[in-house]
């Protein structure tokens, strides 16, 4: 009897069942808008930096997606980012610093 060790996502990607870990986290989802999509992306990249993992980093952060001007409150192009931390105080601190 064989056990399936991977999943196909929309026929494009295979996810192999090897290892995963998860941590309880606090998250903030932030919309950054700017005069142009280029400036919004530049600001989003500056805010998220190299925070790819909460392990050995002050926060975990990343870009979710671009948002068209027609979907933002101020009518300018935007980018959604996420910032994660394992404590509410730590998340607040990272939001202030970024």
Q: Is residue 87 part of a domain?
A: yes
Sheet holding 78-85, edge to edge: 26-33, 78-85, 60-67
CATH code of residue 35: 3.30.70.520
35-50 confidence digits (pLDDT tens): 999 999 999 999 998 8
Q: pTM to 2 decimals?
A: 0.76
Distances 6 to 9, 11, 20, 73 between C-alpha atoms, Å: 10, 12, 13, 41
Q: Is residue 9 part of a domain?
A: no
Containing structural domain, residue 47 = 21-97
Q: Is residue 15 part of a domain?
A: no
Query: What's the mean pLDDT in 46-59?
Result: 86
Q: What's the total number of domains in the chain?
A: 1
CB 79 within 8 A of CB 67: yes
Cα 13 to its chain centre, rounded Å, is: 20
H or E stretch including 45? Answer: helix 37-48
Q: Is residue 7 part of a domain?
A: no
């Amino acid at each position: 009897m064989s056990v399936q060790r991977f999943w196909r996502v929309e026929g494009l990607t295979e996810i192999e069942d090897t290892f995963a870990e998860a941590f309880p986290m606090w998250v903030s989802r932030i919309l950054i808008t700017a005069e142009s999509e280029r400036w919004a992306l530049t600001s989003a990249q500056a805010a998220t930096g190299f925070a790819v993992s909460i392990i050995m980093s002050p926060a975990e952060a990343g870009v979710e997606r671009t948002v068209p001007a027609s979907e933002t409150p101020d009518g300018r192009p935007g980018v959604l980012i996420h910032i994660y931390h394992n404590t509410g105080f730590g998340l607040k601190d990272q939001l202030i610093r970024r």
